[in-house]
Structure 1
Amino acid sequence: MKLKVCELFAGVGGFRLGLEKAGGYEVVWSNQWEPSTKTQHASQVYAARFGSQNHSNTDIEQVATDEIPNHDLLVGGFPCQDYSVATTLKNSKGLLGKKGVLWWSIHRILSEKKKKPKYLILENVDRLLKSPSSQRGRDFAIMLKSLSDLDYVIEWRVINAAEYGMPQRRRRVFIIGIHKSSALYSKYMNEKPEDILLRKSVLANSFPVQKVALNLSSFLLDDSVLSVSENFNKYKKLSPFLNSGICIKGIVTTGKTTPNYGGSAKMLSEILENGVIPNDYFISDVDLPKWEYLKGGKKEVRKTKEGYKYNYSEGSMVFPDALDKPSRTIITGEGGKSPSRFKHVVQTKKGMRRLTPVELERLNMFPDNHTKLEGISDTKRAFFMGNALVVGVVERIADSLLEEIVV
């Protein structure tokens, strides 16, 4: 029997692709809503590839929990925002997430579901472990405390896909939740934190690390989410959360792990298309100096709108991009012809050019032309990939979760 999955913040379906590649999972409900655009392009792609049945294109904050079917696994790449909390006016013990913060939609679903999902796989940018700058690590601490209060053991790891042979240097934090109703919960409860992080967990099995002393640190989160929000790590410059960790009953244990991978690595050159590339992707002689300036190092005096002069400096970037290494991280502004410091540029026999939508899909390990749909521009397709996750990472985590459940 397959695990039933609820996919939130689905985008164009990266989580679903990884789960389906692993096998053993069935998405029974999905949601994708983009508040800043009238036309819901990502949802259109998702529905075109996976079907519109059981797919919701409604603001998740407006979806009642009882409209979401029961599921075994909840997944989602939720936005990184300010997760601060406040007491309600009617009830000083009640908590409200900051309005418009989508983490609290996940929390609300988990809180209100009588049959809670046994497993969670969540993904975010790694700065989540350090935000906000005024109170380093507070947002992640709020997440850990609120999930712990809902009887989840939480494991996390910052994973750079390229360090495990994948074609893009994309660093993201992956968060695994195991509910006490799952048989897997007792496995976590009965192991030492160091053993969990090194070898006896979903993430340790899917992304092995070197078996060295981790120099672990441990601390207890405050007794309420509100207290965590107001007091966690106040006046300190560094976040206490390192790239790996575990939270069990509010006790956090964290350390720095180092990848242990000896397999093959995929290079940028291996994902390039062999066919005819449209001329629009090639950089003209007229535009080349603009690209060289933006990619180059700078030490110059600049002026604000108010006329204030200041010294500006930045280092140079490799230009064009190295073909014998995994690519740099794709960002949402990857598309379009305009010169940019951050867009990828490769040298080919015909000249220097930008990456095509298919090549960007390959860097995230999506099927070719997954995002190709009538009415959706190449620039929008590039935007999708800037927001997407690396499918191969999800597939390996999904494989490991199934193995842990079976064992």
Structure 2
Amino acid sequence: MRTENKMNTIELFAGVGGFRVGLEKANPDMFKVVWGNQWEPSKKAQDAFACYTSNFIEGIHSNEDITKVSDESFKNLDAKLVVGGFPCQDYSVARSLSGEKGIQGKKGVLFWEIKRVIEATSAKYVLLENVDRLLKSPASQRGRDFAVMLATFRDLGYKVEWRVINAAEYGQAQRRRRVFIFATRNDSGFSKELESYEAEDILFEKGFFSPAFPVKHEVIKNRKLIGKLPEDIVEISDTFSALFHNSGYMEDGDFYSIHTEPVFEKPVLLKEILQPEETVPEKFYLSETAIEKFSFLRGAKKIERTSADGHKYIYSEGGMSPIDDLDKPGRTMLTSEGTTNRSSHVVEVDGKRRFLTPLECERLNGFPDNWTNTMSDRMRYFCMGNALVVGLIERMGKRIEQLEHKYMDEIPLQEKLFLNN
């Protein structure tokens, strides 16, 4: 049964709970994560799950292989919203040899678990996050994987809107670019409203994303793609390719994709998320040896290398500043943050160079301070490199709340009374 006055939510591949943090920031009285799953295969220490359980009390916390969770477990949750960040994998599909099971996806691909959860719950809304290369993968058949996903939502009875969002362009502290996918069930009030608009109007103004993340009302460089997905998902997997742009909409297999530019908002700067220097432990400061190493790693270079078959080639790499600009938002944080490699942030304060601290990395993603202090520094960096920017999810949560207010005819009476108070 749905918990009174709450939107029951399932959080898949939860990590340290970024979606939940953002939704609860949007409205802690509305969003209720009733089931959250986080499981790291082949690892004895489940650091992310331990962090999740230490920060959240309510709901079922699942630390198990999601492929082993029964459909009945999901059906009993009465979930209205499914959220999750999932790996960019190979989404190719094939027809089963016997034909009895219809279409089969590759084993171990977690998107098929998302599909299973949606089938079991008939959730009204689905909100997913992935790396933006998803729109172009695989390299040998551009757009195939995303088209398979779109066709899957079509077959499940959903409309889909997507947007690539750079967090720093919407007031956040990190230049982190990710694709967000919002699906709404065809019989929902919002879905029915979308049917009355042109696709371009949906992407510029009327859809899910633009009210929260405004864009310029123009198709940039006339980059536009209009098409229809084949009915047979195996045909999509075998032969379909398309160059999807950073914004798009799909309804009944018809898709419309354009390149949009954001209405830029002033970001949080790197210097604004630094903790007071006197509170930074000495271990985060760079030695002279490390400074020299970074100078090489971040400098321009051309190196002769030999491939496995003996072929010699020149590996070249452009240069970058030896220190990060404190008057800009942070660069995209990777799981290797805090180690001596080219991608780690290096800041210089009072003439001394250092790594960002784990607490500062939490701030780059918008988490509360010391959210991940249940684990080692190395794992804190790793989890933040995997996490999303929670400020974006907060905005999306507020957008979902707006839709629930707008279509109150779909909401039970007791929930209407709650939303109006």
Q: Same fold (TM over 0.5)?
A: yes
Structure 2 counterpart of 1:16, from 5, 20, 37: 20
Q: Cα deviations across residues 98-136 of structure 1 (Å, max 9, x unaligned)?
A: 01000000112222x2x5000010000000000011110
CA distance, structure 2, for counterparts of residue 81 and residue 343 of structure 1: 25
Q: Which residue does the alignment assign to 2:144?
A: 138
Whether the 8 Å contact between 2:219 and 2:259 is mirrored in structure 1 is: no
Q: Which residue does the alignment assign to 1:362?
A: 363
The structural deviation recorded for 1:190 is 1.3
Q: Does 1:257 align with 2:260?
A: yes
Q: Which residue does the alignment assign to 2:268?
A: 266
CA distance, structure 2, for counterparts of residue 21 and residue 391 of structure 1: 9
Q: How does 1:61-140 map to 2 (within 5 A)?
A: 61-68=67-74, 69-91=77-99, 94-111=102-119, 113=120, 115-140=121-146
In structure 1, list runs of 5 or more residues that go unmatched. Answer: 234-238
CA distance, structure 2, for counterparts of residue 293 and residue 264 of structure 1: 33
CA distance, structure 1, for counterparts of residue 309 and residue 186 of structure 2: 58
Q: How does 1:250-399 map to 2 (within 5 A)?
A: 250-261=253-264, 263-274=265-276, 275-304=278-307, 308-336=311-339, 339-349=340-350, 351-373=352-374, 376-399=375-398
User: When the two structures are superposed, what TM-score results if normalisation uses the length of structure 2?
Assistant: 0.91
Q: Does 1:43 align with 2:43?
A: no
| Partner AA of 1:6 in structure 2 | I
Q: Does 1:171 align with 2:174?
A: no
CA distance, structure 2, for counterparts of residue 83 and residue 213 of structure 1: 29
The structural deviation recorded for 1:306 is 6.4
The structural deviation recorded for 1:276 is 2.2
Q: Cα deviations across residues 321-374 of structure 1 (Å, max 9, x unaligned)?
A: 0110011000001134xx21111000011510000000000000000000001x
Q: Which residue does the alignment assign to 1:236?
A: none
Whether the 8 Å contact between 1:184 and 1:405 is mirrored in structure 2 is: no
Question: 1:305 and 1:221, CA in 2 relative to 1: closer, same or farther beyond 3 A?
Answer: closer
Question: 1:277 and 1:213, CA in 2 relative to 1: closer, same or farther beyond 3 A?
Answer: closer
CA distance, structure 1, for counterparts of residue 405 and residue 243 of structure 2: 34
| Partner AA of 1:89 in structure 2 | L
Structure 1 counterpart of 2:234, from 221, 226, 236: 226
CA distance, structure 1, for counterparts of residue 215 and residue 226 of structure 2: 20
| Partner AA of 2:201 in structure 1 | D
CA distance, structure 1, for counterparts of residue 59 and residue 209 of structure 2: 32
**Count of aligned residue pairs for this structure pair:** 395
Q: Which residue does the alignment assign to 2:188?
A: 182
CA distance, structure 1, for counterparts of residue 58 and residue 24 of structure 2: 17
Of all paired residues, the percent bearing the same amino acid is 48
| Partner AA of 1:71 in structure 2 | A
CA distance, structure 1, for counterparts of residue 138 and residue 34 of structure 2: 35
CA distance, structure 2, for counterparts of residue 325 and residue 6 of structure 1: 35
Question: 1:86 and 1:92, CA in 2 relative to 1: closer, same or farther beyond 3 A?
Answer: farther
| Partner AA of 2:373 in structure 1 | K
Whether the 8 Å contact between 1:6 and 1:74 is mirrored in structure 2 is: yes
CA distance, structure 2, for counterparts of residue 306 and residue 212 of structure 1: 49
The structural deviation recorded for 1:278 is 1.4
Q: Which residue does the alignment assign to 1:403?
A: 402
| Partner AA of 1:32 in structure 2 | Q
Question: 1:196 and 1:53, CA in 2 relative to 1: closer, same or farther beyond 3 A?
Answer: closer
Q: Does 1:7 align with 2:11?
A: yes
CA distance, structure 2, for counterparts of residue 87 and residue 103 of structure 1: 17
Computed over aligned residues only, the root mean square deviation of the Cα atoms, in angstroms, reads 1.5
In structure 2, list runs of 5 or more residues that go unmatched. Answer: 407-421
Whether the 8 Å contact between 2:216 and 2:260 is mirrored in structure 1 is: yes
Whether the 8 Å contact between 1:365 and 1:391 is mirrored in structure 2 is: yes
Matched position secondary structure for 2:279: coil
The structural deviation recorded for 1:277 is 1.3
Q: Cα deviations across residues 68-93 of structure 1 (Å, max 9, x unaligned)?
A: 21200000001110011111222266
Whether the 8 Å contact between 1:335 and 1:380 is mirrored in structure 2 is: no
